[in-house]
A = this chain, B = another copy of it.
Amino acid sequence: MTIAPWRSPLSRALHRNRALPNARYVQLATVRLDGTPANRTIVFRGFAQGCDDLQFVSDRRSEKVQDLHHQPIGELCWYFSKTREQFRLLGPITVISATTEAEPWQQQRHQLWQTLSDNARLQFCWPHPKQQRTNETLFATVPPNPMQPSPHFCGLLLQPTQVDHLELRGDPQNRWLYQRAPEGDWTRQTINP
């Protein structure tokens, strides 16, 4: 497998910013059922083995999973504050839920579940996200089985088709656009900031 050409600058940014507690926090934009945009912070869970897909996790009861069923595409905006650079990654997103068939998907979902901390796994046992919370709302406190994903647990895989890399350092700033042709080859263009 050939690694996509934007992987090298992104890996370098992750390495140089690794001391920041939120270097793996990234903003994901999707389109809601009513056509309006949605935006929230999610945690990068590494690349899938043997390909350039970025991995994330989500609760299937969350609105982003609904958005993605309607319009299965997202753009990530990843700002690295130490090196002052931004990556925008656009591409289709695959949702792997408990009911997704075919063995390799479920294996990947199980692996993602196992990489989570107890605290992260616990949140999938909490009541329905965004519903009204009262003093009576109960939150589970015992972490679930680390070997058996919660039925609410989903893996999200974003396969970039376009990556826009901007370095604020530099006078003028530097910007590159990577685009993936349908047959899989990448081009890289130097563009105006």
Contacts and interface: CB of A to CB of B under 8 A. Distances in A.
Interface string A36-71: 111111000000000000000000000000000001
A30 B22 contact: no
Interface stretch (A2-10, A72-80, A105-113, A147-155): A72-80
Nearest to A189: B132
Contact of A36 (B20, B75, B132, B175): B75
Interface residues on A, range: 35 or more
Given A39-B29, A39-B39, A130 B79 contact: no
Contacts of A27: 27, 29, 39, 77, 79
Please report whether the interface of chain A is mostly helix, strand, loop or mixed according to DSSP: strand
Contacts of A86: 40-41
A76 B39 contact: yes
Interface in A87-125: 88, 90, 123
What are the 7 A-B residue pairs with the smallest beta carbon separation, nearest first?
A29-B29, A29-B39, A29-B37, A39-B77, A27-B27, A39-B75, A139-B172
29 contacts: A20-B81, A21-B81, A22-B79, A25-B79, A27-B27, A27-B29, A27-B39, A28-B39, A29-B39, A29-B75, A31-B31, A31-B36, A31-B37, A35-B35, A35-B71, A37-B71, A37-B73, A37-B75, A38-B75, A39-B76, A39-B88, A40-B77, A40-B88, A41-B86, A123-B172, A129-B191, A130-B177, A131-B192, A137-B192
